[in-house]
Structure 1
Amino acid sequence: MQEPYFMNNQKISARQVKRTLTLELLGISTLLLPSLVATDSGVDGFFALTAGGGGAWLLLKFWQKHFRQQNFSQRLEQMSGCVRVCIQVIYGMGFLGLAGFVFYVMAALMEQQLLGNGWEPMILLTLAAAAFFGLVRGLESRVRVYEVLYWFLLIPLLVILVIACAGIEPNAWTPVAASTLPNFIKSSYVSFLFFSGASLYVLFLKSCQKKEQAYAGTRHALLVVLGLNLVIYLILLGVFRTELLAHRRWPVIDLMAVVKLPGNFLERQDALMVGIWFFCLFAFLDSMLYYAVDFFAGILCFRSNRSIQAKEKKAESGIGPRTEQVEMTAENKTNTKKIVLTAVLVCAAACIGSFLLHREAAAQRIFHGYLYGVLPLLLILPVFCGGRKQNRSESEAEAESKNRSESEAIAEMKHSRRQRNF
């Protein structure tokens, strides 16, 4: 008998962080950001993107120093119950809402570019089933897929961008410094919000084996995403010019309409571009759902963990069943709860996407409200999650660290023994 993957494989490497985060941020930023920046800044949008990326990099350095001793999850556990639950609800709802918007974007993209009208239920059901399967298989299984797909997606994209350079008109890159200062600041701020997705480092830090390598992988992903956004923006400006670029819904997808591959061996060139962005957006969708499940599960499973600790104390004193039996029973119950919770949240996100489909005006209003209201709140909250202040001597801290390491080693031995028994 094999245990569910949902809880057993929650560790990822620095390379997996780098590749998965690159694909997650690349899809959503290059699809939506060019038209937003071109609307306010035009040619100066290139410098706005650079400023936004620089701000996101500074924020990432701040997170590295801020969470050097304890990660975000450890600080949440130290907070009082009411405050902790409120923060978890805010983050859970924030990630769930963003997942619903990504559902909408993917369904609209596939409907408009590939399948046509009438396929909405099939598209949403397929996306929901794939997202649920990816979440249940576990974090490591999911990131391994994107670790393999990384170069299979980036190499065709780079080839397309190189070919697209032939259609660039350099005059479209002028005049420079023509936008007003308020518009430039607005574009820089929007760019910063998109690139601040690198702050997911705060959340996946607990799943990384080495903190320094996790930071290096996140920084590398941010630089790659920023570089590709700058290149794509220059190409889109040179091909479409500012006025047309600002009114395009998905300009990077429309780029395939003007790019002619040698030999015309692809009848539907746009399908190649949609395929690349589909996998990138799906990686982002699964990531948002994963964190939504993680925060809501933290609320539901917190009391269960406290009851487990109480039962373990009784077992150690000779009252009640053995500790190992208590752990196995509790783990099975927790896995079942998480699977049910995952199904509920995936369905909720799909319902949000279905509601927004064919309601573009409402979707845009909700997206801008999230971008300027909810997302800044999600970025600010970790600063104030300091946990309870503890006045302890260094010797006490070292003793606690040693005890924690011993308990983790014992738990790992028990887990290995259970796997052998299964």
Structure 2
Amino acid sequence: MYTDNAQISHRQLFRQIITGLLGPCFLVVPVLPGMTGRQGVLCLLTGAAVYGFLCIYFIRIRNFFQNPEKYMGKFLGKIFILLYTSWLWFMGVCLLLITARITGRFLIEGSNSWAVILLAAFAAYLGSHQGLERRGRMAEVSFPILLLILGGMMILAAIQVRPEYLEEMGELTFAGWARGSWQVLCVFLPFAFLPAALGNVKRPGDTGKVMWRAIGLITGLLILTIILLQGSFGLGGYEHEEYPAIRLMSGIRLPGDFLERVDLFWVGALVFGILFGLGSVFFYSHELLVRIHQEKTALAAGGAVVLGALACEKAGTEPDFFIRITIEIYGPLLFLLLLLAGFTGKKGRAVKTGLLSLVLLGLSGCGISLEDRVFPLSMGVDYENGHYRMVYGIPQLSKVTGQNKEETQSGEEQALVYEGLTPGDVQERFNENQENYLDMGHIKTLILGESIMENREALVEFLGFLEENPAVAGNIYVFAAEDMEEIMSLDGQEADSLGDYLTGILENTLDKKEQEAVVLQDLYGAWHREEEFPKLPEVTVVNKKPSIRQHS
């Protein structure tokens, strides 16, 4: 709750920045592509330098964020803030997912992710309503402890460093530097919300040094993290890890071994930092909505964040998806909005109106219409003679949309077959031979052929291809078939769409055959844990129709 008298000191601002950003940055930056070795260090320094210059700009535009409707008018001011705040809601979902994954994997093994999400959201939302001054005092008290644990254990991690690993320089290219620097700018996007807070800081015109110190400390600790990761595991030894920084801490042993799992303190501090950042999401979301007189929608927005996190957890969405969207969409959008905020006066209002119209036009053109998409409801894959063979079961568009329109012959259900050395090659060949965009977000069933089931390496590569595609849901039913193409050839012929048909059979008998239901997320889990893949229900042909029988 911002009031004219609610102000925080420079020290409280500094500690709020560090407390809210350090935890997420420790998790995200080390796994960014190309952020290794000297190139990673250079990218971090470049990103920090850019934000160092932007700090002066942030001070200049702070008044705009105090009353955007005054500078842009009521309608455009509301649109501006809603676009700006949407990234906060987006990252709120991401932080809740990260909290659930880390808690279930490192702190409370086997914990219900939905319960963790609800508890984390409840705690963060309550904390966000303590007022600006109380949040400042909370950060002031917790900052020394948080920095002692997070920073102190990094010093202990230096014991694991092997000097010969530090001699590896790694690649350094202009393209890699440019891409990595942009990624750092996008990961540091929370700094773009500082103009919204500077109006409630004592002596806001003197906050440049505060922001520079915060950027410098975070950048320095991240550079140290990259150096420690390389020194402990070598280049190529940690890039495949989902949480390399946590793995680094798991190898720390205190003198005397009186605490075997000292890394849990680091993970606990990390989760606290993430929760504080989540509280900042709810807090600044509410405050920005207050400034466009939409504070009554703040609770609904918070609820939507929680529901979004629960839905993404159920669908198996990875937090990496949100990072990619930030880099590809929200990064350019927020920097354009920041530029927009710098124009003032009558001429500035005209420029703002034009630029905001371009933003809205660009957003409206980002999508691909239904008529320009193809929606496979089933997919079959096999691997023979070093090649993947993939079959897409494409139904009529009316089957997907629920519209009962007459289709032309070209719209009839069909099974399209393509081959390639890798799953990516297969998809490229599909795109080269089809005029419509392949939308894999509606797949209901996946049929694995006998050969790929016997070749774990090929199956793992295919699973990796699916996991990298954010449109592919984790709740797709998976089946095995001795002759995958024979099964897929039935799509839309004697049976309805194969995806709907098999899903209907399985779900109608789920009580009796619950142990037979295997979803794609089960295969992901077995792959990452290096366990044996679960047995799949087998699909056969009976009376020219697909039938589910014993496990394969």
Task: Give the TM-score, by structure 1 length.
Answer: 0.76
Per the alignment, residue 507 of structure 2 pairs with: none
| 2:57 alignment partner, one of 58, 62, 66 | 62
Matched, 1:259 2:252: yes
Matched, 1:186 2:186: no
Structure 1 window deviating more from structure 2 (260-269 vs 124-133): it is 260-269
Q: 1:14 to 1:40 in 2, by over 3 A?
A: closer
Output aligned runs, 1:276-355, within 5 Å: 276-301=269-294, 338=295, 341-355=297-311
Per the alignment, residue 92 of structure 1 pairs with: 85
Per the alignment, residue 346 of structure 2 pairs with: 389
Output aligned runs, 1:163-182, within 5 Å: 163-176=156-169, 178-182=171-175
| 1:364 alignment partner, one of 320, 327, 330 | 320
- Distance apart, 1:231 and its partner CA: 1.0
In the alignment, the residues of structure 2 paired with residue 267 and residue 173 of structure 1 have an alpha-carbon distance, to the nearest angstrom, of 27
Output aligned runs, 1:35-50, within 5 Å: 35-37=31-33, 39=34, 41-50=36-45
Per the alignment, residue 19 of structure 1 pairs with: 15
Output aligned runs, 1:154-169, within 5 Å: 154-169=147-162
Higher share in strand:
2
| 1:33 alignment partner, one of 29, 40, 46 | 29
Instruction: Assess if the C-alpha contact under 8 Å between 1:102 and 1:281 holds in 2.
Output: yes
In the alignment, the residues of structure 2 paired with residue 163 and residue 175 of structure 1 have an alpha-carbon distance, to the nearest angstrom, of 22
| 1:10 alignment partner, one of 6, 9, 25 | 6
- Distance apart, 1:96 and its partner CA: 0.9
Per the alignment, residue 334 of structure 1 pairs with: none
Per the alignment, residue 335 of structure 2 pairs with: 379
Matched, 1:206 2:162: no
The one-letter amino acid of 2:219's match is: L
Per the alignment, residue 53 of structure 1 pairs with: 48
In the alignment, the residues of structure 1 paired with residue 39 and residue 101 of structure 2 have an alpha-carbon distance, to the nearest angstrom, of 30
In the alignment, the residues of structure 2 paired with residue 162 and residue 245 of structure 1 have an alpha-carbon distance, to the nearest angstrom, of 19
Match of 2:202, SS?
coil
In the alignment, the residues of structure 1 paired with residue 245 and residue 129 of structure 2 have an alpha-carbon distance, to the nearest angstrom, of 32
Q: 1:258 to 1:188 in 2, by over 3 A?
A: same
Instruction: Assess if the C-alpha contact under 8 Å between 1:72 and 1:382 holds in 2.
Output: no
Per the alignment, residue 491 of structure 2 pairs with: none
| 1:225 alignment partner, one of 205, 218, 226 | 218
Per the alignment, residue 117 of structure 2 pairs with: 124
- Distance apart, 1:368 and its partner CA: 0.3
The one-letter amino acid of 1:46's match is: V
- Distance apart, 1:89 and its partner CA: 1.3
Match of 1:351, SS?
helix
1:304-348 alpha-carbon deviations (Å, 9 max, x no partner): xxxxxxxxxxxxxxxxxxxxxxxxxxxxxxxxxx4x644323222
Per the alignment, residue 335 of structure 1 pairs with: none
Q: 1:358 to 1:182 in 2, by over 3 A?
A: farther
Instruction: Assess if the C-alpha contact under 8 Å between 2:286 and 2:298 holds in 1.
Output: yes
The one-letter amino acid of 1:353's match is: A
In the alignment, the residues of structure 1 paired with residue 315 and residue 175 of structure 2 have an alpha-carbon distance, to the nearest angstrom, of 30
The one-letter amino acid of 1:357's match is: E
Structure 1 window deviating more from structure 2 (373-382 vs 19-28): it is 373-382
Instruction: Assess if the C-alpha contact under 8 Å between 1:8 and 1:138 holds in 2.
Output: no
Match of 1:242, SS?
coil
Per the alignment, residue 313 of structure 1 pairs with: none
- Distance apart, 1:390 and its partner CA: 9.1
Which has the bigger relative contact order, CA under 8 A and spacing at least 6?
Answer: 1
Per the alignment, residue 470 of structure 2 pairs with: none
Instruction: Assess if the C-alpha contact under 8 Å between 1:75 and 1:387 holds in 2.
Output: no
Instruction: Assess if the C-alpha contact under 8 Å between 2:90 and 2:305 holds in 1.
Output: yes
Task: Give the TM-score, by structure 2 length.
Answer: 0.59
In the alignment, the residues of structure 2 paired with residue 184 and residue 198 of structure 1 have an alpha-carbon distance, to the nearest angstrom, of 21
Q: 1:377 to 1:109 in 2, by over 3 A?
A: same
In the alignment, the residues of structure 2 paired with residue 361 and residue 40 of structure 1 have an alpha-carbon distance, to the nearest angstrom, of 23
Unaligned runs of 5+ in 1: 302-337, 392-422
Higher share in helix:
1
The one-letter amino acid of 1:241's match is: G
Unaligned runs of 5+ in 2: 349-552
In the alignment, the residues of structure 2 paired with residue 158 and residue 191 of structure 1 have an alpha-carbon distance, to the nearest angstrom, of 21
In the alignment, the residues of structure 1 paired with residue 168 and residue 157 of structure 2 have an alpha-carbon distance, to the nearest angstrom, of 22
In the alignment, the residues of structure 2 paired with residue 89 and residue 129 of structure 1 have an alpha-carbon distance, to the nearest angstrom, of 23
- Distance apart, 1:175 and its partner CA: 3.5
Aligned residues: 347
In the alignment, the residues of structure 2 paired with residue 126 and residue 179 of structure 1 have an alpha-carbon distance, to the nearest angstrom, of 44
- Distance apart, 1:33 and its partner CA: 0.4
1:28-87 alpha-carbon deviations (Å, 9 max, x no partner): 1111101215x45544212221122112212223333x337x342235422122211111
Over alpha carbons, which structure has the higher Rg? 2
Per the alignment, residue 236 of structure 2 pairs with: 243
- Distance apart, 1:279 and its partner CA: 1.6
Structure 1 window deviating more from structure 2 (20-29 vs 175-184): it is 175-184
Q: 1:270 to 1:201 in 2, by over 3 A?
A: same
The one-letter amino acid of 1:49's match is: L
1:240-299 alpha-carbon deviations (Å, 9 max, x no partner): 222122111111111122111122222432321111111211121111222222233333
In the alignment, the residues of structure 1 paired with residue 5 and residue 276 of structure 2 have an alpha-carbon distance, to the nearest angstrom, of 18
- Distance apart, 1:361 and its partner CA: 5.2
In the alignment, the residues of structure 1 paired with residue 210 and residue 229 of structure 2 have an alpha-carbon distance, to the nearest angstrom, of 28
| 1:103 alignment partner, one of 93, 96, 108 | 96
1:94-153 alpha-carbon deviations (Å, 9 max, x no partner): 211111111111111111111123422321221121112112221211221111011111
| 1:134 alignment partner, one of 113, 123, 127 | 127
